[in-house]
Amino acid sequence: MVGRTVGYEFLREQLNLSAFPCARPARIASVTKVIQGPDSLEIPASVAPASQIPLDHVLFALKHEGINLQVLAQALPRIPAAQIMEAFRSSPASKYIRITAYLWEQFCGTEMAGIPAAIGPYVDLFDGSRYITGQRTRNTKWRVDFNGLGNIRYCPTVERTNIISELLEKNTLQRAQEFISGLDLELLDRTMSWSYLSETESSFAIERENPSPSKAVAFTELLKQARDTTPITEEYLVQLQNMTVTNPMDHDMQFRHRVNWLRGPGRGVLGITYVPPTPDLIPEIMDSVMDLLNHPPINVSPIIIGALASFAFVFAHPFMDGNGRLSRFIFHKAVCKSKILSQGLVLPISIAMKRNESNYLQALKSFSVPARRLWDISMIDDENFDLKFKGESSIYRYWDATQCVEFGLKMAQQALELDLYNETSYLKKYNTIYDKINSEIDINNNDLSLMVRLCLQNDGLVSLSQRKKFLANGYKEETIKMVESIATSALNGGATTL
């Protein structure tokens, strides 16, 4: 008996579900109380369901493991309504049987009739102490409030981990706003220009692409639209896709109506790393993602909404091209909609994402790898494949976004504390050194700008190779040394600190 799985993992195995394996499966262990281990939930035999009846394991899982809608969406339709009705009649006040009955009706698309009224206080589907929750939608029949991040047809889950709680306490957006509010107009303008340019370059760099000037300009213009108040619709996203994809042959007129896939460096079938949902699922999934962006829960951090919607978009892959860059735009759109950041600032999260590229890939893989296993793929030729989905649509509707949201929060924090702070510090020092030298020495503006940048990059000194070039162009050694002296003094002084 020790080691036997119970709860969600039992349901997945016993009913042969296509739901992803549980990250921390519940197992019977030689313990006296329920213990959360690093890789499993250890359960005393006295607490575990004694039977092999699926309903018993559903009720156990709801009590001890929380909410796994991906498993429940597949398992509950396999449980006869009569079993659930009998259990409800025995305990009409039990929140776990009421949640079970509520979800059974939602996933089966039919109602149970001829039963007594539910009693007891209303209960949230998601425990707010364990999950990030959204706005409530009340079901009076079962006295259950749906409070997920989405709706009952599409609902990613985000656990309230210690990492997420700590990052939320840092209040990154408010600190960013307070920071830029303290900048003078000239420095603010230069900071804004840097943030748009850096976000553009890094977003392309993530995709291993060196953008042409026209592509860079197109994406910068796209970023500037993050602050407009246009509702996000299919038509709006199509316009943005056409802006960010410069080749007219790759412009889409609507969400895709074809199956597509993502390819890695491998050959043939092994090169296909992810297959997004089939086209028939795209309208409902994208309606839910767009609704989350247009009507975000007021009690949820915009960074969480941005991270969640960004990953949801890239997993849905609604277009044939341009999904990656658009997903990162959506992050900014969610943040800008909150209006916490004023004056046009965008946090350069793509710089942080590029710096943490392996962690970004791991966040993507948290969903893409198990989803890929549910596709049978055979090769027709180098460019064509036969793809057959052997899972259920619930894997694309209900997924664990915890790792993705943790990553998004970390990147926002780094974008502020490493990139924005450091760049603004650099610009302040640049201005201080430039103005000081310009007031004392008559130097061509372009040469002076280059000298200042060289000094900032080299601890106040002009490199030997550049020094030779300045000397060859007629500058005296004394002039270069004076520039270095002023730069070194500014770098070592306290006048330019944040």
**pLDDT tens sequence across 203-256:** 888 878 777 777 788 778 778 778 788 899 999 999 988 888 878 888 889 999
Residue 429 maps to a domain: no
Pairing mode, strands 35-36 and 41-43: antiparallel
* pLDDT band at residue 412 using 50, 70 and 90 as cut-offs: very high
Residue 131 maps to a domain: no
**CA angle, corner 358, sides to 352 and 361, nearest 5?**
100
**pLDDT of 356 over the 50 cut:** yes
Q: What is the mean pLDDT of the chain?
A: 91
At 318 the three-state DSSP class reads: coil
The single-letter code of the amino acid at 397 is R
**pLDDT of 24 over the 90 cut:** yes
Helical ranges in 317-356 per DSSP H = 323-337, 349-355
* pLDDT band at residue 48 using 50, 70 and 90 as cut-offs: very high
Residues 366 and 488 in one domain: no
Residues 242 and 377 in one domain: yes
The Cα 79–Cα 50 span in angstroms is: 18
How much is the average pLDDT of 412-422? 89
At 388 the three-state DSSP class reads: strand
Please say which residue of 421, 450, 478 terminates a domain: 421
Residue 362 maps to a domain: yes
Residue 395 maps to a domain: yes
Q: Which domain holds residue 391?
A: 162-421
Helical ranges in 116-249 per DSSP H = 162-169, 172-181, 185-206, 213-224, 234-244
How much is the average pLDDT of 187-193? 82
* pLDDT band at residue 268 using 50, 70 and 90 as cut-offs: confident
Residues 417 and 445 in one domain: no
Residues 217 and 352 in one domain: yes
The single-letter code of the amino acid at 230 is T
How much is the average pLDDT of 110-132? 95
Complete DSSP assignment for 24-44: S-EEE-S-SS-EE-SS-EEE-
Residue 126 maps to a domain: no
Using a CB cutoff of 8 Å and minimum separation of 24, what contacts does 83-86 make? 83/53, 83/55, 84/55, 84/112, 85/112, 85/114, 85/115
How much is the average pLDDT of 118-123? 95
**Predicted confidence (pLDDT) per residue in 336-353, tens digit:** 888 787 766 778 888 899
pTM attached to this predicted model: 0.89
Find where tokens 């209303």 sit.
Answer: 122
The single-letter code of the amino acid at 127 is D
**pLDDT of 494 over the 50 cut:** no
Complete DSSP assignment for 54-121: HHHHHHHHHHHT---HHHHHHHGGGS-HHHHHHHHHH-TT-HHHHHHHHHHHHHHT----S-PPP-S-
| Residue 415 or residue 74, greater confidence | 74
Enter the tokens of residue 126: 């998601």
What pLDDT is recorded for position 343? 63
Out of 82-86, 188-192, 273-277, 366-370, which region has the weakest mean confidence (pLDDT)? 188-192
Please say which residue of 23, 38, 56 terminates a domain: 56
The answer to whether residues 421 and 345 touch, using CB atoms and an 8 Å cutoff, is: no
The Cα 335–Cα 103 span in angstroms is: 32
* pLDDT band at residue 495 using 50, 70 and 90 as cut-offs: very low
* pLDDT band at residue 497 using 50, 70 and 90 as cut-offs: very low
At 444 the three-state DSSP class reads: coil
Residues 306 and 376 in one domain: yes
CATH number at residue 197: 1.10.3290.10
40 backbone dihedrals φ, ψ, rounded to 5°: -160, 165
What percent of the chain clears pLDDT 90, i.e. is strictly above it? 62
Residue 100 maps to a domain: no
Find where tokens 């999950």 sit.
Answer: 131
Number of structural domains in the chain: 3
Residues 322 and 377 in one domain: yes
Residue 71 maps to a domain: no
The answer to whether residues 487 and 433 touch, using CB atoms and an 8 Å cutoff, is: yes
How much is the average pLDDT of 296-303? 94
The Cα 188–Cα 248 span in angstroms is: 36
**Which among 406, 217, 407, 206 has a CA at the least distance from the CA of 325?**
206
Enter the tokens of residue 220: 């910068």
| Residue 133 or residue 213, greater confidence | 133
What pLDDT is recorded for position 265? 80
The angle, 0 to 180 degrees and rounded to 10, between the axes of the packed helices 445-457 and 477-492 is: 50
Residues 225 and 335 in one domain: yes
**Which among 345, 363, 356, 413 has a CA at the least distance from the CA of 168?**
413
* pLDDT band at residue 498 using 50, 70 and 90 as cut-offs: very low
- Running DSSP on this structure, what letter comes out for residue 455? H
Residues 230 and 309 in one domain: yes
Residues 247 and 368 in one domain: yes
Q: Report the phi/psi class of residue 33: left, alpha or beta, with left for phi > 0 and alpha for psi in -120 to 50.
A: beta
Q: Which residues contact 393 (CB under 8 A, 6 or more apart)?
A: 277, 281
The single-letter code of the amino acid at 44 is P
Complete DSSP assignment for 250-283: G--SSS--S---EE-SS-GGGGEEE----GGGHH
What pLDDT is recorded for position 344? 64
Residues 473 and 352 in one domain: no
Query: What b/e readout covers 20-35, taking b as 16+ CB neighbours within 10 angstroms?
Result: bebeebbbbbeeeebe
Residues 273 and 394 in one domain: yes
Residues 273 and 307 in one domain: yes
- List beta partners, residue 138: 145
**Predicted confidence (pLDDT) per residue in 72-90, tens digit:** 999 999 999 999 999 999 9
**pLDDT of 262 over the 50 cut:** yes
Enter the tokens of residue 245: 């994809």
The answer to whether residues 432 and 461 touch, using CB atoms and an 8 Å cutoff, is: no
Residue 497 maps to a domain: no
Please say which residue of 391, 421, 451 terminates a domain: 421
Pairing mode, strands 123-124 and 144-146: parallel
